[in-house]
Structure 1
Amino acid sequence: MSGALLEVRGLTKHFGGGAHPVRAVEDVSFAIQPGEVLGLVGESGSGKSTIGRLILRLLDPTAGSVRFGGDEIATAPERKLKALRRRAQMVFQDPFASLNPRLRVRDIIGEALDAHGLARGRRTERIGELMETVGLPAAHMTRYPHEFSGGQRQRIGIARALAVEPELIVADEPVSALDVSVQAQVLNLMQDLRARFGLAMLFISHDLDVVELMCDRIAVLYLGRVMEIGPAEIVTARPRHPYTQALLAASPKADPDAPKLSRTLKGDIPSPMAPPSGCVFRTRCPYAMPACAEVVPPLRDAGDGRAYACILDSLPSRPEVA
């Protein structure tokens, strides 16, 4: 963890009180080094977006630590968060909903500059530079969001995030709302920007193929808990957790001749108001045994740069599913 830009320890978020709160995030830990891209992948309802918002303190955590550049964020007072929000920015899933439809693009991007006292005396020039950086003509800064396509609106959102020269971008499903033909263009842009500016990213997605393409490391999340985390090429080539196996088997590029759990996971993800005891994945796991209901498996070092949360030392051959 030495030298990490972002360190998350025991991060937990419960919504509501009483005997059955919504356990959205439970005891999540990871780190991101400067310039590194960590992918956070899992099904809808696994807590991915909640983690992104907790890191930027758009939500307050129930428990745990979030340290950015060595400074504690989880418990910092609001007046101290302004500096964080210059160093860490978010790119949202829906590019139209995240842009104020009443503002011209120059004012959408300019808001970030104004809030942090940047580019005084050359505001218009800086906005033009940012638009051209994301592949949009500077002359279009006087237009409104509805005058752009979905992919162009996401480029505007990225330009807004870049305006304050952040060190970390939290990208929350940044291409899932876009047409397939546009997704690759936006992903290529984000890869170029990462290389150009040395950006670190938390890249959130339900699509393991996209995460594998974009990220140095992958954290696989299920019902608010990390099931497996490690280098992308190792996690995707030799998954140790049954849930990671299932996600890979459901991938469109999965080998149709290879043994597989199923093209889709059976059943629905359980309610975070009443998660299963022990391993939260056990109700959908083909290898579940009685002991799985009794203990929450900790992340175990696999000895190859990654860790996984399963009581099995190795998985049996994956069963064929008719």
Structure 2
Amino acid sequence: MNAAPLLAVEGLTKYFGRAPHLVRAVEDVSFDITPGEVLGLVGESGSGKSTIGRLVLRLIDSTAGAIRFEGQDVTKFPERHLKLLRRNAQMIFQDPYASLNPRLRVREIVGEALDAHRLASGTRRVQRIGELLETVGLQAAHMSRFPHEFSGGQRQRIGIARALAVEPKLIVADEPVSALDVSVQAQVINLLQDLRQRFGLAMLFISHDLDVVELMCDRIAVLYLGRVMEIGSSEDVSKRPRHPYTRALLAASPKADPDAPKIRRMLTGDIPSPMAPPSGCVFRTRCPAATEECSRNVPKLRSAGGGHRFACHYDLAYDEEPAAA
């Protein structure tokens, strides 16, 4: 029996601005995350990944669609009720330098959530902050320091400790290692994996790096210009990709699996502007096999079996190469 979703996103849409300068950042995105599961959102810059992360936590409001956390549609929550969502869902930000207030000591940064939700005070508050720092690989004595006294990797650990302070059920990790040195990235990824197992955390893990997502996630959703191109298990998406965009991302990976299926034509050009997305399939302007059908109709997600779905008009086996139009 499948577990009920902790998070269920249905038809999520977000537009910024007004016509004729309307930016279509996210368009009709749907996915779910069960308790303890990690779903990866992957795609190029401008694909809408970070916007989705902020929508999920109601840091920004959606244009349309539903975001259900434990069955409750949080898009309908009034501002005064969002405290309940923030207790159960927290974010780890991309930039460990910008996400910490440089004027506050670590005990104040980590302790803010404890104070806001009245989870600990006095001696117990200090003890709890020390425990959180040790949980993420720092020392309790570090709580008296300021952020500038730490390295980038250590600052990200402070951000993780802050997110863990309220004992959330869901973590939205927005490119949590992209601003770190390569040597430090693996340490933070290992820490997140350990915390996931230790606390049974569910995660929405956002990254542009398919290798990191494959390592970290149970399932992967591939985004392009605000739409889901492919979604399925990490194994299916990385080893049996059905969408040409997923194949191109895999082929461009610096750690590409030599045994994985290859796309003969690499991507050219840049992702189109969300102010003027292509008609039909938004990927068609860069797809090596686009046809007239692709310019006329938006492809719907179709099943490849086992929960693996992809949005393409043509159903090619993963070891087939699409023919040129």
Range of TM-score over shorter length: over 0.9
CA distance in 1, matches of 2:260, 2:240: 13
Structure 2 spans left out of the alignment, 5+ residues: none
Q: Structure 2 CA distance, aligned partners of 1:117 and 1:259?
A: 52
Unmatched runs of 5 consecutive residues or more in structure 1: none
Corresponding residue for residue 269 of structure 1: 271
Correspondences of 1:42-61 after superposition (within 5 Å): 42-61=43-62
| Alpha-carbon offset, residue 160 of structure 1 | 0.1
1:189 aligns with 2:213: no
* In structure 2, distance between residues paired with 1:96 and 1:275: 34
Q: Which moved more, 1:178-187 or 1:67-76?
A: 67-76
Show CA shifts across 1:110-158 (max 9, x none): 1110000011231100000000000001001000000000000000000
Q: Is the 2:240–2:261 Cα contact (8 Å) retained in structure 1?
A: no
Structure 1 residue 59: Cα displacement: 0.5
What is the aligned length? Answer: 320
SS at match of 2:96: coil
Secondary structure of 2:173's counterpart equals strand
CA contact (8 A) 1:260 1:319 kept: no
Of 317, 321, 325, 1:318 maps to: 321
Question: Percent identity at matched positions?
Answer: 77
Aligned in 2, Cα 1:176/1:270: closer, same or farther, shift over 3 Å?
A: same
* Match of residue 82 from structure 1: 83
Normalised by the size of structure 2, how large is the TM-score? 0.95
2:281 maps to amino acid: C
Alignment partner, residue 112 of structure 1: 113
Q: Give the drift of 1:303.
A: 1.4
Q: 2:251 aligns with which of 240, 249, 252?
A: 249
Counterpart of 2:30? 29
Deviation string, structure 1 residues 20-54 (Cα, Å, up to 9, x no partner): 41000000000000000000000000000000000
Q: Alpha-carbon deviations, 1:67-98, whole Å to 9, x = none?
A: 00111111211011000001000000001100
Q: State the match for 1:212 in structure 2.
A: 214
Out of 245-254 and 176-185, give the one that drifted further.
245-254
1:166 alignment counterpart:
168
1:155-196 deviations in Å (ceiling 9; x for gaps): 000000000000000000000000000000000000000000
Whichever residue aligns with residue 297 of structure 1, its letter is P
Please show how residues 98-109 of structure 1 align to structure 2 within 5 Å. Answer: 98-109=99-110
* Paired amino acid for 1:240: R
TM-score when normalising by structure 1: 0.96
Specify the alignment match of 2:20 in structure 1. Answer: 19
SS at match of 2:171: strand
Checking the alignment, whether the CA contact within 8 Å between 1:250 and 1:262 is kept in structure 2 is no
Where 1:313 maps in the other structure, the secondary structure is coil
The two structures, once aligned, show a CA RMSD in angstroms of 1.6
Are the aligned partners of 1:249 and 1:263 in contact in 2 as well (CA < 8 Å)? no
Give me the whole-angstrom Cα distance separating, in 2, the residues matched to 1:183 and 1:85: 27
Select 1:135's aligned residue among 134, 137, 143. 137
